[in-house]
Amino acid sequence: MTGPADIEEILLTQEQIAARVAELARDISRDYAGRAPLLISVLKGAVYFVTDLSRAITIPIALDFMAITSYGSAPAQSGAVRLIKDLDHEITGLHVLLVEDIIDTGLTAGYLLRLLQARSPASLQICTLLDRPRRRILESLPIAYRGFEVPDRFLVGYGLDYREQYRNLPFIGVLKESVLQATAQPAG
């Protein structure tokens, strides 16, 4: 079974998320006025966030997606990710805002930034809903917008998954330790 019964604690309610997303959208609308930014989001975790965020932004924007997958089942360990879907359009000369669900070690964002920077955008910054600075390996990421700082506990909901489950929960919660243990397997 996968659902609210597997949740230890609700960390951020639907209302808290919506209120913060509205604030971020207001800041982005102000800062990027006249620049028609391109929001780039990473499938699949950031999809819930970027759809709500972009809907609340009041200036013209464009939206594009990339999909990546980690090598093995330990996403944060090496930052080695493989691009499985590239952007649909060129980004040269555009004001790009990379929209992320959570920045943990920062290795994934670092990889994506290098890849995007090589295409010479006019500017490149990050908007992340969640930030977990305690586990950061890659410092100095250009995080211009952050929703919430979160503790070092495994979170699911509002796009965040555990083995592709729980993304559709409307809140962000801490997954029960028993669920993690019950399904724990050697990486491979």
Min separation Cβ 133 and ligand IMP, Å: 11
Considering the rule CB under 6 A, would residue 160 count as an interface residue with ligand IMP? yes
Considering the rule CB under 6 A, would residue 148 count as an interface residue with ligand IMP? no
CB atoms within 10 A of CB 80: 13
In the bound state with ligand IMP, the residue whose beta carbon lies nearer, of 35 and 44, is 44
Q: In what order do the strands lie in the sheet with 143-149?
A: 81-85, 62-70, 38-43, 95-103, 123-131, 143-149
Min separation Cβ 123 and ligand IMP, Å: 22
Please calculate the CA angle 96-135-74 and round it to the nearest 5 degrees: 85
3-state class (DSSP) for residue 99: strand
Considering the rule CB under 6 A, would residue 159 count as an interface residue with ligand IMP? no
Look up 104 and say whether it is catalytic. Answer: yes
* Set 6, 101, 104, 131: catalytic member: 104
Tokens found for residue 34 = 């006249």
Site residues (CB under 6 A) for ligand IMP, limited to 31-50: 45
Nearest residue to 159 (alpha-carbon basis) of 145, 173, 148: 173
Binding flags for Mg ion, 36-55, as an x/- string (CB under 5 A): ---------x----------
What span, in angstroms and rounded, lies between the C-alpha atoms of 7 and 167? 13
How many binding residues for ligand IMP (CB under 6 A)? 17
143-149 and 172-175 beta bridge pairing: unpaired
Considering the rule CB under 6 A, would residue 103 count as an interface residue with ligand IMP? yes
In the bound state with ligand IMP, the residue whose beta carbon lies nearer, of 29 and 70, is 70
Q: Are 170 and 158 in contact (CB under 8 A)?
A: yes
Min separation Cβ 111 and ligand IMP, Å: 8
Give the binding site for Mg ion (CB under 5 A): 45
Which residues does the annotation mark as catalytic? 104
Catalog residues that contact ligand IMP under the rule CB under 6 A. Answer: 45, 75-76, 79, 101-109, 154-156, 160
